[in-house]
Structure 1
Amino acid sequence: MSLSQEEAFARIRLLRSPNIGPVSFRQLIRRFGTAQAAIDALPDLARRGGAPYRAAPPETIAEEISQVRRARARYLFHDQPDYPPLLAELDSAPPVLTWRGDVSLAAKPCVAIVGARNASAAAVKLARDFAAALSEAGFTVVSGLARGIDGAAHRGALPATIGVIASGIDITYPPEHTALQEEVAGRGLLIAEQVPGTEPRGRHFPSRNRIIAGLASGTLVVEAAPKSGSLITARLAAEAGREVMAIPGSPLEARATGCNQLIRDGAMLVQTPDDVIELLSGFDGTPRSSFREAAPAFLFADEELADAEPADVTSLLTTAPVAVDELIRQSGEPPASVQLALLELEIAGRLTRHAGGRVSLAA
């Protein structure tokens, strides 16, 4: 679709306003039709949620747009034709991305390759070789431009690679990947969700990981320790209904523990690029791995949210995360009414959203 400059500006402003995330952004657009109408409604929604509210100042958004232009980047909105189709399937898909490079790479079959930052030499070579073979087979290789496995995957796949960063589009991290990040932006595709000028923080990496998992029909973990970010990416891929794959390693090697654990829990064991190609060629949305079932979701039409009245669900919430579908069951209210009540609480800063479609009262 073609967006007017006014609507594009309003969408960026809406997303940058306090307590607005991907889920609430989409629900606001569904309910009010345009971003500007949603912005106008924010103070009343927050008041009903129990707090005052001020949207992001227009001058802040104007400066952000200038920063994006200086970085030679562009905006991509969630309902534009070039938006990555698999990523668009996520409930938490970023409503606005910034990018540099060849955006058409995201429309091709994609496979994510992730793994340890302090990877072994053998694993680095394996990641590079797998990425090269998969790119030659027509896949775009997605990774996070981190040290170790990520960097090896990008280098092996260039130019058929997408780098997803946890910082603003104009920030390089880690510093030693300055040249690699620029090469990915120049020959492949570089994507960022964060505002330009944003340095990477710990909370940004899980958000980055969901984009990596969401872009691809499958995620391959090459080497990973327990409780690593790579396992978070694998879990997010599984929740999105994508294939999860892992290369096994020696039980005597600590850096192989995460991969062996994934395989034990249902991820597909792969040993060659041909194994990955077989699993992902013609992927129809039904993974062969049984690592984890996709998170349940209650669907409702846009007009239902537009016409809904908020349900009273505050008494059912605590600071412990609970699934939205459980709130719908216990309240006995229509899904759209429960979602509207959660939206009002979120805008007021009283609700936190968690992975897997769960919510809690803000601490």
Structure 2
Amino acid sequence: MAADRLRLIRSANIGPVSYAQLLARFGTATAAIDAIPMLAARGGGRAPVLADPRLIDREMATVARLGGQYLFSDDPDYPPLLAALENAPPALILRGDRTLLSRPGIAMVGARNASAAACRFARQLGHDLANEGMVVVSGLARGIDTAAHVGALGGQTGDGGTIAVVATGIDIAFPPENAELQERIASEALLIAEQPPGTEPRARHFPYRNRIIAGLAMGTVVVEAAPKSGSLITARLAAEAGREVMAVPGSPLDPRAQGCNQLIRDGATLVQNVADILEQVRPIDPRMVRMPTSPFGGAPPEDASDAERRAITALLGAVAVPVDELIRQSGAAPAIVQTVLLEMELAGRLERHAGGRVSLTG
């Protein structure tokens, strides 16, 4: 039932990984919700506060009123490239042409305070990629993102187009000056939000948005970026997901080019035109992406023993460690380790980090 799946997603202590594990173990969101108090008690804490069903009904009504629709991770139309991420979003809210999700995509990101030359180049790249039948994925931010979207909209022929992934609710325009562009993308292309309607821009939501941008695309192009920027986070996420990372070189005298030049120095592909991008990604067939397997590594166990819980808990601390290391040192089966971690997360005792690492909360 869609309402129960959404209720599970919107509840405290339940992130993308725990959501996937709960469905893998219990089969349905309804059964998972019923089991949460028992799991949290085994994890040594209180059950998380579940989302109010009335709020879920209200959210779903708002999405429908806005002309949006939900796409859940178990939907056959869910993009396989995005599904390959360990922390793939359990639910997306869409407005526009969802068929764009099945077409090859290239992410394009860069500086918000980009130079005029970089914006012009990004706009041309977006136009040329769309003309080649590619979908340009970006985050609707100022600067490079905006230029990439505008270029792709102007070059839409055949199967090309653009996808905008926002860090806000699908009804909130940020930055405000892109309100008209956001509406145009929702009408002519595809707008995506992970957060519920009405969500205002918050700093913590932008890295979540960036993983979707990187996850939807076969490769990410950085046009202009400072050494420490969200664009480089997107590039790192793309690299961690095994996707191509490309960068446009710039003058060493321009601080906005330092991030791209460093990416190239570290092994990113140097991009000067659309042909350079297509050369890197065209051999990749999205249908060859391996679909994610059960997070329990097979049939989920009925339970873990108290001795196994103690052994696994004793290995955890304030410093994040890879789950694989917990499996190796505890000697427990991967499914047992995942079960114990799930119980602890629901109890509010475990925090998950990027790269499949976990630590104790606090």
Fold match by TM threshold 0.5: yes
Whole-angstrom CA distance in 2 between matches of 1:113 and 1:182? 20
- 1:255-290: CA deviations, max 9, x gaps? 0000011111111111111000111112158xxxxx
- Could you tell me which amino acid in structure 1 is paired with residue 275 of structure 2? D
Q: Name 1:352's counterpart in structure 2.
A: 351
1:252 aligns with 2:253: yes
State the match for 1:155 in structure 2: 150
CA–CA distance in structure 1, aligned partners of residues 283 and 74 of structure 2: 25
The within-5 A match list for 1:82-231 is 82-158=77-153, 159=156, 160-231=161-232
Runs of at least 4 residues off by over 3 Å: 297-303
CA contact (8 A) 2:21 2:294 kept: no
- Structure 2 distance, partners of 1:34, 1:87, is 21
The offset of 1:301, in angstroms, is: 5.8
The match for 1:50 among 36, 39, 44 is 44
Amino acid corresponding to residue 281 of structure 1 in structure 2: R
Q: Note closer, same or farther for the CA distance 1:268–1:15 as it changes in structure 2 (3 Å cut).
A: same
- 1:292 corresponds to which residue? none
In the alignment, the residues of structure 1 paired with residue 228 and residue 268 of structure 2 have an alpha-carbon distance, to the nearest angstrom, of: 16
Cα separation, 1, equivalents of 2:46 and 2:93: 30
> In structure 2, the residue corresponding to 1:75 is in which secondary structure?
strand
- Answer whether contact 2:45 2:347 (CA < 8 A) is retained: yes
Deviations for 1:101-157, whole angstroms, at most 9, x for unmatched residues? Answer: 001111101000000000000000010000100110110000000000000000000
Displacement after TM superposition at 1:52 (Å): 1.6
Given residue 260 of structure 1, which amino acid in structure 2 is its aligned partner? N
Deviation of the 1:299 alpha carbon: 6.8
Structure 1 pair 120–300 and aligned structure 2 pair: CA distance change class (3 A): closer
Residue 328 in structure 1 maps to residue 327 in structure 2: yes
Q: Could you tell me how far 1:349 is from its partner in structure 2?
A: 1.2
Tell me, yes or no, if the aligned pair for 1:30 and 1:306 is still in contact at 8 Å. Answer: no
How many pairs align?
346
Does the 8 Å CA contact 2:298/2:335 hold for their aligned counterparts? no
Q: SS at the partner of 2:227?
A: coil
Q: What residue identity is the alignment partner of 1:19?
A: N
Determine if contact 1:110/1:142 at 8 Å carries over to the other structure.
yes
For the residues of structure 2 that align with 1:197 and 1:217, how far apart are their CA atoms?
Answer: 31
Could you tell me which amino acid in structure 2 is paired with residue 185 of structure 1? Answer: A
2:18·2:342 contact (CA, 8 Å) conserved in 1?
Answer: yes
State whether residues 296 and 334 of structure 2, in contact with CA within 8 Å, keep that contact through their aligned partners in structure 1.
Answer: no
Q: Secondary structure at the match of 2:300?
A: helix
Q: Tell me if structure 2 keeps the 8 A contact 1:42–1:55.
A: no
Measured after TM superposition, the shift of residue 232 of structure 1 is: 0.4
Bigger mean CA deviation after superposition, 118-127 or 261-270: 261-270
Structure 1 contact 118–147 (Cα < 8 Å) conserved: yes
Deviations 1:281-330 (A, max 9, x none): 12158xxxxxxxxxxx9976665324452642111111221111111111
The TM-score normalised by the length of structure 2 is 0.92
| Alignment gaps of 5+ in structure 1 | 1-6, 286-296
Tell me the SS of whatever aligns to 1:164. strand
Partner of 2:238, secondary structure, is helix
Unaligned runs of 5+ in 2: 287-291
CA–CA separation in structure 1 for the residues paired with 2:57 and 2:293: 37
TM-score, length basis structure 1: 0.92
Aligned partner of 1:40: which letter?
D
Deviations 1:186-238 (A, max 9, x none): 10100000111111111100000000000000000000001100000001001
Moved more, 335-344 or 304-313: 304-313
3-state SS in 2 of match to 1:211: helix
1:272 aligns to 2:273 (yes or no)? yes
Residue type matched to 1:148 in 2?
Answer: G
Report the CA distance between 1:182 and its aligned residue. Answer: 0.4
Q: Which structure has the higher relative contact order (CA within 8 Å, separation 6+)?
A: 2
2:289 — aligned with what?
A: none
Which residue is 1:315 aligned to? 314
For the 8 Å contact 2:104–2:217, the answer to whether it is kept is yes
Q: Which amino acid aligns with 2:317?
A: T
